[in-house]
Amino acid sequence: MSVGTGTDSVKAVVVLAAGGGTRMKSRRSKLLHEVCGRSMLSYAVSAAAALNPEHLVVVVGHQRAQVAEHLESLNETVTTAVQDEQLGTGHAVGCGLKELPEFDGEVVVTYGDVPMLTGETLQRLVATHREGGNAVTILTAEIDDPTGYGRIIRTAGRITGIVEHRDATEEQREIREINSGIYVFDAPTLRAGLAQLSTDNAQGEQYLTDVVHYAHAQGRSVGALIIDDIWQTEGVNDRVQLARMNEELNRRIIEHWMREGVTILDPRTTWIDVDVALATDVTLLPGVMLQGATTVGEGARIGPDTTLADVEVGAGAQVIRTHGSFAVIGENAAVGPFSYLRPGTQLGVGGKIGAFVETKNAVIGDGAKVPHLTYAGDAVIGAGANIGAGTIFANYDGVNKSTTHVGEAAFVGSNSVLVSPVDIADGAFVAAGSAITEDVPAGGLAVARGRQHNSPGWIAKRRPDSKAAKAAAASDGATHPAVTESRGKLKG
C-alpha cells in the first residue's frame, strides 16, 4: 500500500493505536491480533491509505516496539507518534499532530482496532464533510443497545455535542445514535479545540469529543454520516469480540465468493482469509481453511478437512484432507488424503501426492507419483517417475541437508531408502527394500539389500508345539495352493 498526494487527498490521517489492550490478556499487542488473516492495524492503515493522505500518522504507546516493527512491514511512509501517558483520545490526537508541520486542510481521525472500517466509508465521510462545509463531521450509527457508547446530542436536528455514556443523563442514555469515534476535522478547528481540552469528566481524560462542543460553540457546522453497517464502527477489546469479528468478516468473504461462482458446501465450517483468491467453479467441501495468499484455480476441488496457507492450487486439481503451506500444486494434480505439504513443495501438472506422504523442498515433475507412505525431503523427481510406498528420502546426515534427484520415468520400489546426495538417472529402477547410497545409471537396476536365506524345518525345530508348526506339518512343506494358482496365472 502507498500514501499518495492526489488532488482529492486529505492533509492527514491520525490512527489512534496507543491503548493497552489489557482485556486481550496477551503478550502481543492487541492491534497485531488477526481478523481473517490480517492484523487489525493493517486494516486501519489500508483504510487510511484509501484517502491518499499527505501525512499518515499512527499514534503508538503500549508495546510500541511491536507495533512500530509491524508498521514497517506494512508501509514505510507511515509516521509514528508516541503517547507516553494514556490521557485520553484528545491527548492522543495532539501527540499525533505534534509530529506534523503546521497545515490547513482536513484531518481524519480513526482507530487501529476497528478492522471492518473500509476506505470507501472514509471516502464517503470526507465527501460528506466537504459537501456540508463542516468544521467537524462524525461517523455515527443508530443501534438498539447503545450502552457504553458516546451519544450524539442534537438540537432541532443539528449536532451540538457528544456526551460519553458515563457522563450522560438518564434521558441522554435513551439516545440511539452513537459516536463511532471516527471524525473529519478542519485542521485549525481541531488544533484550537485541543488547546481548550480539560480533564473535568468521569474518566479524568482529555476527550476528543469536546472538540465537537468547541466547534459548535464557535458557530461552526458539525455534520454526520450515519452508517447502516454498524460492524464498521465496532472495535475489538477482548478475544470474545475478536472471535465475533472473525466470524462476521468470514461470513462476508464466503458470501462474496459464492456470488462469484464458488461452491461452498458448508459455510459454517469454511474459513477463508481476506487475501485468498478463488476462480470460478471451485468447490470447497466442509472443514476447509484457506489462509494467507492462497490461490485456487478454476474447477479445483478442496477438502474436506483441508488447511492451505499460502498455497497455489492449479485448475482442476483435487486436494483432500491435506495440510499445506508455501507450496504449489499443478493443474489436474491430486493430493491426499492425509498429506503434509511443507514449504518448497512443487507438484507438477497431473502429478500425485498420496496418502500419508510428507514433502519438503520437493519438486515433483509432471505426471510423477508419490502415492503413499513416503517422506520426500529435498528431492527433485522427474516427470513420470513413480515412488513406491514407504520410500524415505534420507536428506539429513546430522549436519547438512542434501538433495536427491530421481530422473524422468524412473521407478523406486517400495520400502526403499535414498541416502542423499544421490542421483537416480532417467528410466532407472530401484528394487524394493533397497538402501541406495550410490548413483544409479540411466536404464539401470539398483539392488541394495541382503540376499534372502531360507532355513527349512526351522519352525519344527524351534517351536514344535506352535500353531505355525502344526500348519506347516499339515501342508507337508508344499506351497500354499492359492499362491501356486496365482503364480500360474502370472506365467500364463
Q: How far is CA 187 from the centre of its chain?
A: 38
Could you tell me the three cell numbers for 294? 492462497
Q: Is there a common fold for 12-233 and 263-446?
A: no
Of 50-59, 218-227, 353-362, 472-481, give the lowest mean pLDDT range.
Answer: 472-481
Which residues of 395-492 form beta strands (DSSP E)?
404-406, 411-412, 417-419, 422-424, 429-430, 435-436, 445-446
Rounded Cα–Cα distance for residues 260 and 133 (Å): 40
What are the structural domain ranges in the chain? Answer: 12-233, 263-446
Catalytic residue among 372, 405, 453, 480: 372
The neighbour count for residue 174, using CB atoms within 10 Å, is 10
- Cα gap 372→358, rounded to integer Å: 9
pLDDT per residue as tens digits for the range 403-443? 999 999 999 999 999 999 999 999 999 999 999 999 999 99
Q: What is the pLDDT of residue 14?
A: 98
Closest CA to 25 of 242, 250, 249: 242
CB 308 within 8 A of CB 326: no
How far is residue 433 from each of residues 388, 390, 421, measured CA to CA in Å? 10, 9, 18
Percent of the chain with pLDDT over 70: 95
Q: How many helices (H) and strands (E) does the chain have?
A: 10, 37
Could you tell me the fold of the domain covering 263-446? UDP N-Acetylglucosamine Acyltransferase; domain 1 (2.160.10)
Task: Choose the most confident range, by mean pLDDT, from 64-68, 142-146, 375-379.
Answer: 375-379
Whether the Cβ atoms of residue 395 and residue 417 lie closer than 8 Å to each other: no
pTM as predicted? 0.90
Tell me the average pLDDT across 363-373.
97
Burial class (CB in 10 A: 0-12, 13-18, 19+), 107: buried
**CATH number 3.90.550.10 given to 12-233:** yes
55 included as an active-site residue: no
Q: What letter does residue 452 receive in the DSSP assignment?
A: P
What is the pLDDT at residue 2? Answer: 43
Is a pLDDT exceeding 70 seen at residue 479? Answer: no
Contact 9, 50 (CB under 8 A): no
Q: Could you identify the residue written with the cell 468447490?
A: 283
